[in-house]
Amino acid sequence: MSRPLRVEILCLGDELLLGIRLNSHLRLLGDALSAHGLPVRRSHELLDDPAVIRETFSEAWARADLIITTGGLGPTTDDLTRETVADVLGKPLHHSSEQEVHLKEFFAARGVALPLNNLRQCLYIEGADLLPNPQGTAPGQWLEADGKVLIMLPGPPRELEPMWREQALPRLIEKGWARPRERFLQLRTSGIGESTLATVLEPLIDPYRDRLLVGYCAHDGAVDIRLSAIDETLSLKEIEALGQAMKDVLGEDFSHFGEMDIAALIIRQLRDRGRTLAVAESCSGGLLASRFTDIAGASRAFMGGAVCYRNEVKENLLHIPRDLLRQHGAVSPEVSVAMATAATEVFESDYALSITGYAGPAGGREPVGTLYIGLASPVGVWSRKVVAPGSRETVKVRAVNAALDFLRRKMRKYEVHDFLDRLCE
């Protein structure tokens, strides 16, 4: 097709609308489709109700080229996607004997007889190809009709993700609808707000306005920008040149290209320099240490951390002087620096980050959301005050992001000094 393909996603499940489960399907599929040149035009979250499914699917089928449904393919009475979609398309359902064999083998391997209601999962829409589900019992379906493609995937993420990655996406690439390689560029920034970021970057974006798709994704204290081509008139080389221009304009607010978490970037830089890091936390409750230990291989640079929530623990574990706590308070620049310095000694690390603050619901000497980040390094110690109001959970996340950004900036500023220091060792 010469025009851009119209893509819609239908995510089925009462639990999505009741708030019981987050919609991870949209995040996975939206990201992958956009990266392969198929940005999603619309996404819908639907109740497991035949009337709702019928109405939404009928409208989507009338205007879209590619429709992907998730959920509603299981064996229970509320799994109604197959039957309702087949009815809308005016196509009968057929029984797959191969799928029945798979189901019998699946349950036999677990020492369980095949429940009869699972036989519903052997039904497929006439003309559709079944997409095998090695992780579960509900197969997906691929149907081409009226110049359109329908992909139906099961709801559980551990089943959906490999089926999308190994079966559905390769077929879209083979059909020529999806680009064989991702063609986008992502920039990660931190310490700059979304509105300020957009103001700075818009003059660079304007010349590409008709050919470039720009997506801003704001986190608590960090913003990502994704650049991708609307059509084939914009090359990856041009996108990369624009990204480099953005990097130059942003200066220290630019973190890195790609999707790597800032914590992973820090660990890699520390590892490359042969340096180590420890943390000491109060109000963030271990969240900072968790960001580092989420990274495979972090132990090569991350020494450990201490959660010192009460003053007695700060005194006993980190040996923070009682008089310092009484004079300045636990939430203060002096205590944040003392915590970071103590962490380098306790964990024998080169660097240490500390967080102390008021996460709520009540403040103290200062309002809720007042945070102090401490940093100890081979070239000095610093404290940074951050004001990040919000819910308790929001304050904790913002505290961690602020601490990571503080360390990232200091490491960049002193990387030359650190290099010369290692030459002298």
Helix, strand or coil, per DSSP, at residue 332: coil
Domain end (from 257, 272, 291): 257
Q: In whole numbers, what is the pLDDT of the chain averaged over residues?
A: 92
The length of the chain is 425
Same-domain pairing of 23 and 139: yes
Same-domain pairing of 114 and 147: yes
Closest CA to 80 of 28, 13, 30: 13
Please say if the pLDDT value at position 416 is more than 70: no
pTM of the model: 0.74
The pair of three-digit structure tokens given for residue 246, joined into one six-digit string: 């953005």
| Domain at 63, CATH number | 3.40.980.10
CA 11/CA 154 separation, integer angstroms:
10
Same-domain pairing of 137 and 241: no
Same-domain pairing of 112 and 243: no
Domain end (from 257, 291, 306): 257
**Residue 322 included in any domain:** yes
**Residue 234 included in any domain:** yes
| Domain at 196, CATH number | 3.30.70
Please say if the pLDDT value at position 266 is more than 60: yes
The arithmetic mean of pLDDT across residues 302-315, rounded, is 97
pLDDT grade for 311, boundaries at 50, 70 and 90: very high
Please say if the pLDDT value at position 299 is more than 60: yes
Domain end (from 128, 152, 175): 175
**Residue 1 included in any domain:** no
Helix, strand or coil, per DSSP, at residue 123: strand
Domain count across the chain: 3
| Structural domain span for residue 15 | 7-175
209 alpha-carbon distance from chain centroid = 26
Same-domain pairing of 311 and 216: no
**Residue 86 included in any domain:** yes
Residue-wise pLDDT tens digits, 179-226: 887 778 999 999 999 999 999 999 999 999 899 989 898 888 889 999
Is the separation of the CB atoms in 250 and 192 below 8 Å?
A: yes
pLDDT grade for 420, boundaries at 50, 70 and 90: very low
Same-domain pairing of 370 and 281: yes
The arithmetic mean of pLDDT across residues 249-256, rounded, is 96
Is the separation of the CB atoms in 356 and 310 below 8 Å?
A: no
Looking at residue 425, its pLDDT comes to 46
Same-domain pairing of 166 and 197: no
At 107, give phi and psi (nearest 5°).
Answer: -75, -35
Same-domain pairing of 299 and 328: yes
Q: What per-residue string of b and e applies to 404-414 under the rule 16 or more CB within 10 Å gives b?
A: bbbbbbbbeee
DSSP state of 31: H
**Residue 2 included in any domain:** no
Same-domain pairing of 85 and 151: yes
Same-domain pairing of 90 and 169: yes
Same-domain pairing of 407 and 285: yes
| Domain at 337, CATH number | 3.90.950.20
Same-domain pairing of 295 and 159: no
